[in-house]
Each structure stands twice: as structure tokens, then as C-alpha cells.
Amino acid sequence: MMNTTQTATIALAKTVSSKQVIEVNNLRKGFGNQEVLKDISLQLFDGENLVVLGKSGSGKSVLIKCIVRLLNIDAGTINVLGEDVSKLNTDGLGELRKKIGFLFQSGALYDSMTVKQNLEFPLRRIKKSLSHKEIDEKVKDVLENVGLFDALDKMPSQLSGGMRKRISLARTIIVDPMIMLYDEPTTGLDPATSDEISLLINDIQKRYKTSSIIITHDIECARTTANRIIILNEGVVYQEGNLEMFEKSTDTLIKSFFI
């Protein structure tokens, strides 16, 4: 069980392979006359945490929504685990999405269900062969991992912001995804809780061997979680590199993030 009061840093997983799990090529996406993503190309390697930084409105959330095809792209290709996402039929897309966990900015817990029901919901649909007992055990196990075992019978409205984010995280990892997509995981949280969430992201990377894209404008979260960082600006990839490189950079835009 992870002790969320620990002050020791949970180190990032250092082992990152060269195998690509996500490849985005020349992605373009706009809404009406506004072009949000103009020409995005990036790769996510197996086992790594890739942090995508950018100003508000730079298209970070649009990028990861295109990856899971919550939004249809205008041009370019997105390959996830070797499959072209835009060419998949409904069944194929459903199968691919079972391997991807998506943490929404607001948490997106189902209001009419308890925490237990929220966690069981994706599990019953994705892992249909599990028995009731196995489902119960998995729910308890994942709640212990996020340090919220006592919240089992609570409704989402009874939880604090940080608790809701952790339960959402639990709901995402309960199906053992290969890829995690985090949309602003620390937004709206106090610094201490943000730190807990960042450490949890690292713990998930190690425990579940996930490859992750983390969308954020929280530099502390980026510092804690990133194996590699990409900065988006005006719809294109502005710069790509590791934390050390960015912190030493003299570029004005990069410096504005890493003050």
C-alpha cells in the first residue's frame, strides 16, 4: 500500500525502451476557422512518461483526445500500438481503447454511482471473465494503491478534489492499461495534493509498467514525472528534450515555463 504521507520521492522509472507505442505524424486539427494543431509529430516510447507542456489553449488536451479518437483529426496519422487509429472500425477502436487509460481533467466520476460502482464499471465491461470475488479484490487492491480504501461506499459528491482525482486514477488503472493519458492531472489541486498525484503517476509507471503522456502546465508535476518533455506552441512542437536541457535553456518561451 502506498503511504501518501511519505516525503521521500518515488523515483521515475529509468528503463525506457526504444519501442514506440504511440506515433503521431503531421497531425492537424481545427474547429471551424480556428486551427488548434497545425503540424504535430511526436513519439511515445515504451515505459516512458512524456510530459507535454504548453500555454492554455495550445491544444494539449485536443492532442490526447485525438489519440483516443474522442475527436476526429483533419490530417495526419496517429498510430497506437501499431494500429492507425483513424482507420479502425467501432469494434477495433473499442479493443484498442481497452489498452488505454484516460484521466480526465475533472476526474469524470459517474455521479450516480458509488466509488465501488465507479471502479467496477469499466472492469465488468473490459474484463468480463472475472468473477464477483475477483472484481471485489481488484477494487480493494487498487483503492489501497491510491490510499483511499475507506472511500468504497462514498458518492463522488462526498469526496474532496484530491480524493476524486485519486479515485479517477484508480478507475483508470484498474483495467491494467498499457498506455496512460493524463489530462492536467494536478489542475485545481493544492501543492501538497498535486505532489501526491505526481508521485502516484510515477508509482503507476513502475507498478503497472505503463507508458504515459502527461498534459500539464504544472512545472512541478513535469519535474517529478517527466522522462522526456515536449513543449507545444502555436499548434506545433516547439522543443523536445529532457528536464535538464530545458532548465538550462536560454530560450525565452522555455524559460517562462521553468522559472
Site residues (vs another protein, CB under 8 A):
65, 68, 70, 94-95, 97-98, 100, 102, 104-106, 108-112, 121-122, 125-126, 175
Nearest to 101 by CA among 51, 169, 172: 172
Q: How far is the CB of 255 from another protein (least distance, A)?
A: 33
Alpha helices in the chain (DSSP H): 60-67, 90-97, 115-126, 132-145, 161-173, 191-208, 219-225, 243-248, 252-257
Q: How far is the CB of 177 from another protein (least distance, A)?
A: 10
Grid cell 513519439 — which residue? Answer: 43
Please, which residue, 171 or 228, has the CB nearer to another protein? 171
183 close to 64: Cβ distance less than 8 angstroms? yes
**Other CB atoms within 10 A of residue 117 CB:** 15
Q: How far is the CB of 10 from another protein (least distance, A)?
A: 26
Please, which residue, 44 or 100, has the CB nearer to another protein? 100
Please, which residue, 8 or 32, has the CB nearer to another protein? 32
CA within 13 Å, CB half, 253: 13
CA distances from 208 to 97, 211, 231 (A): 17, 9, 26
Please, which residue, 60 or 228, has the CB nearer to another protein? 60
Q: How far is the CB of 181 from another protein (least distance, A)?
A: 9
Q: How far is the CB of 250 from another protein (least distance, A)?
A: 39
Please, which residue, 126 or 236, has the CB nearer to another protein? 126
Grid cell 486539427 — which residue? Answer: 29
